[in-house]
């Protein structure tokens, strides 16, 4: 049984704020797997997660280097799989090691290597909304496992558009 926590963001600031709340709740070993088209706001959300982890400054998209590491209260591994052509390349990057160390992983374009990820990761899909600065952010919730990460967002319902049971 899983469900979607559906949020609507009306600005980059609001997307970063959603990320910040997730980052604040993150613990060692957590992984946020981001999907959605170019420019949907994956890096923007990652920036917020980084701030929530206490990282200073701006996280840039690691599209060319594939992995960037930031130091916060936990280490953040920011990974971008846009450029991989085969899921096997994710293993070559050492993705499984990043996922199993004591840091936190954020992976953009995680759908390029679905089979690499363990089942307890939090999948987040971002889509364009009907207005230029509107984004729909759907967080895939597996019963029980993600309560800690999502409690903060549920308490701050400004962006909440509904809870959708997906069976
Ligand atoms: N509500 C919003 N949330 C996030 N970004 C927004 C929003 N409204 C407008 N934007 C703009 O959309 C762009 C999002 O860019 P970002 O680099 O985060 O996307 P991305 O999904 O990481 O793209 P890529 O697939 O190229 O890595 C930014 O220019 C940002 O200012
Ligand atoms: Mg990006």
Confidence of residue 165 (pLDDT cuts 50, 70, 90): very low
Query: At residue 90, does pLDDT exceed 70?
Result: yes
Residue nearest to atom 29 of ligand 1 (CA): 39
Pocket lining: 133 vs ligand 1, CB cutoff 6 Å: yes
Tokens at 114, concatenated: 């679905």
Which atom of ligand 1 sits closest to the CA of residue 129?
1
1-52 pLDDT tens trace:
678 899 999 999 999 999 999 999 999 999 999 999 999 999 999 999 999 9
Strand order in the sheet with 135-142: 67-71, 75-80, 104-108, 31-35, 122-128, 135-142, 2-9, 160-165
The span from the CA of 64 to the CA of 30, in Å, is 24
Q: What is the pTM of this model?
A: 0.93
Residues 106-159 pLDDT 10s: 999 999 999 999 998 999 999 999 999 999 999 998 777 788 898 888 877 566
Which ligand has its closest atom nearest to the C-alpha of 82? 1
Q: What ligand has the least distance to the C-alpha of 38?
A: 1
Which atom belonging to ligand 1 lies closest to the Cα atom of 133? 8
- How far CA 146 is from CA of 23, 49, 57, 119, 151, in Å, comes to 13, 16, 28, 12, 9
Q: Is the CB of 64 under 6 A from ligand 1?
A: no
Q: Beta-carbon neighbour count of residue 158 at 10 Å?
A: 12
Domains of the chain: 2-159 (3.40.50.300)
CB of 78 within 6 A of ligand 1: the answer is: no
**17 CB near ligand 1 (under 6 Å):** no
């Amino acid at each position: 049984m899983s469900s979607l926590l559906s949020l609507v963001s009306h600005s980059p600031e609001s997307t970063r704020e959603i990320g910040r709340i997730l980052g604040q709740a993150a613990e060692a070993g957590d992984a946020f797997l981001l999907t959605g088209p170019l420019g949907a706001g994956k890096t923007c959300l990652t920036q917020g997660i980084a701030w929530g982890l206490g990282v200073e400054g701006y996280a840039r998209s690691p599209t060319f280097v594939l992995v960037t590491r930031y130091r916060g209260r936990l280490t953040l591994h920011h990974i971008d799989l846009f450029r991989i052509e085969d899921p096997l390349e994710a293993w070559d990057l050492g993705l499984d090691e990043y996922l199993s160390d004591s840091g936190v992983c954020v992976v953009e374009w995680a759908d390029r290597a679905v089979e690499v990820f363990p089942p307890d990761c939090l999948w987040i899909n971002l889509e364009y909304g009907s207005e230029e600065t509107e984004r729909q952010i759907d967080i895939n919730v597996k019963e029980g496992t993600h309560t800690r990460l999502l409690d903060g967002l549920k308490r701050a319902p400004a962006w909440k558009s509904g809870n959708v049971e997906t069976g």
